[in-house]
């Protein structure tokens, strides 16, 4: 997948046009938003649907979801609807209740436009543009962004809308239709779903359990020590290093367990340790008979202070717009957050790895 990335940020730390080459590995099931019936995207696995066709249908559904969400919000807050919104709401309910071909499979396509909008941001009325610019960290200018497609913006905004709310209202209207047509009990629903908060908590617990299951335990550590002890601790020279190396392994595994790429980190550690063992020619003095992390802390202490000084100079101004002349320890949480956010935007400069020269 190739694309040109242009970086823009509030502090304008950099402006670089860089071509990147990305290889994306994904599990299709992780792309589904939830286990609900209406969240499954048949088009994602339908080979007869091209990428262009799927994107166009997604744009059309995003427009409908945006309009429906606004109407739902107004009704919930007892805000008066405009004449167009009242007409849309009336047609929306009638489409679900009266159309004979409307069923659970195509329920979400109710009131979806035939084609996505062809408007651009430059054609948006001033009132709507002002409302968009009122959102934190959002800035649209007709001169710079006037030719951008409004449909792209609608698709991006749709990701912030709770799709479950629209889906539940539509399924409830459809359930009411079936209750009247078939004389079903008042508590009948076409879809029984558990509370959304419960689903979120369960999903979070599943993720925590999955991450915990991948961590090294005592048994794994024992196997690692047995593997790395092959041809070790056999002579007088190597015995001076062996216990310290095993302690270094213990400390490294404990630290690496917090990262998802712990296997890759372990492989790098083993390669580095093997090179270190091959380069040993004299016995270590008492001052160096310490695990790797303790030695690193001693050597890194002056460089850590230098890194903190670099970080304190990266921000041009503080959160109040004043020129920054602070030590690292004096930076506020908001300033550190802004700094980290701007670094993450351009991690491709560091091969997508957090730069080692920063604390």
DSSP codes, 285-312: PGGG-S-HHHHHHHHHHHHHHHHHHHHH
pLDDT of residue 358: 60
How does residue 351 score in pLDDT terms, banded at 50, 70 and 90? low
> Cα separation of 224 and 216, whole Å?
10
What is the distance of C-alpha 91 from the center of its chain? 37
Categorise residue 286: left if φ over 0, alpha if ψ from -120 to 50, beta otherwise: alpha
Categorise residue 154: left if φ over 0, alpha if ψ from -120 to 50, beta otherwise: alpha
Query: If DSSP codes are grouped into helix, strand and coil, which group holds residue 18?
Result: strand
Query: Which range has the worst mean pLDDT, 10-14, 48-52, 189-193?
Result: 10-14
> Cα separation of 269 and 254, whole Å?
13
| pTM score of the predicted model | 0.50
How does residue 88 score in pLDDT terms, banded at 50, 70 and 90? very high
Q: Per the structure block, which two tokens stand in for 144? A: 């710079």
Residue 313: is its pLDDT beyond 70?
Answer: no
pLDDT of residue 26: 57
Rounded to 5 degrees, φ, ψ at 44 are -65, -30
How does residue 4 score in pLDDT terms, banded at 50, 70 and 90? very low
Which helix (H) or strand (E) segment is 241 a member of? Answer: helix 236-256
Strand locations in the chain (E): 2-6, 17-21
pLDDT of residue 66: 94
Q: Hey, how many other C-beta atoms are within 10 angstroms of the C-beta on 153?
A: 19
* Geometric angle at alpha carbon 89, from 84 and 93, rounded to 5°: 150
Tell me the domain boundaries of the chain. Answer: 2-207, 216-290
* Geometric angle at alpha carbon 275, from 269 and 277, rounded to 5°: 100
Q: Per the structure block, which two tokens stand in for 220? A: 């794994």
pLDDT of 168-205, one tens digit each?
899 999 999 999 999 988 888 887 666 667 777 888 88
pLDDT of 118-159, one tens digit each?
999 999 999 988 988 888 788 888 999 999 999 999 999 888
Helices 163-182 and 83-98 meet at what angle, rounded to 10? 50
pLDDT of residue 317: 63
Residue that the structure tokens 């991450």 belong to: 211
Bridging pattern class, strands 17-21 and 2-6: antiparallel
């Amino acid at each position: 997948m190739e694309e040109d990335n242009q970086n823009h940020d509030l502090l304008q730390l950099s402006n670089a046009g860089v071509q990147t080459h990305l290889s994306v590995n994904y599990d299709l099931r992780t792309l589904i938003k939830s286990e609900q019936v209406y969240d499954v995207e048949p088009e994602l696995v339908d080979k007869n649907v091209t990428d262009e066709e799927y994107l166009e249908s997604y744009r059309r559904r995003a427009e409908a979801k945006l309009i429906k969400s606004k109407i739902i919000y107004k009704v919930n807050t007892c805000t008066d609807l405009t004449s167009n919104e009242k007409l849309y709401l009336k047609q929306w309910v009638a489409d679900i209740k009266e159309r004979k071909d409307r069923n659970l499979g195509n329920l979400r396509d109710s009131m979806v436009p035939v084609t996505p909008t062809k408007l651009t941001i430059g054609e948006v009325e001033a009132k709507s543009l002002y409302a968009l610019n009122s959102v934190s960290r959002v800035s649209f200018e007709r001169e710079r962004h006037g030719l951008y497609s409004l449909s792209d913006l609608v698709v991006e905004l749709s990701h912030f809308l709770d799709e479950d709310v629209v889906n539940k209202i539509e399924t409830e209207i459809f359930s009411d239709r079936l209750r009247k047509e078939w004389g079903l009990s008042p508590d009948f629903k076409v879809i029984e779903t558990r509370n959304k908060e419960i689903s979120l908590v369960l999903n979070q617990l599943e993720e925590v359990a999955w991450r915990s299951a991948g961590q090294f335990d005592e048994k794994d550590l024992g196997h690692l020590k047995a593997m790395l002890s092959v041809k070790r601790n056999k002579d007088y020279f190597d015995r001076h290093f062996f216990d310290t190396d095993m302690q270094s392994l213990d400390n490294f595994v404990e630290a690496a367990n917090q990262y998802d790429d712990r296997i890759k980190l372990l492989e790098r550690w083993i390669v580095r340790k093997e090179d270190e063992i091959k380069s040993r020619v004299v016995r270590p003095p008492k001052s160096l008979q310490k695990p790797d992390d303790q030695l690193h802390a001693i050597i890194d202490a002056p460089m850590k202070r230098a890194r903190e000084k670099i970080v304190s100079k990266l921000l041009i101004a503080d959160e109040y717009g004043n020129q920054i002349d602070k030590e690292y320890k004096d930076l506020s949480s908001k300033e550190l957050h802004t700094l980290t956010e701007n670094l993450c935007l351009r991690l491709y400069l560091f091969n997508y790895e957090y730069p080692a020269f920063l604390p």
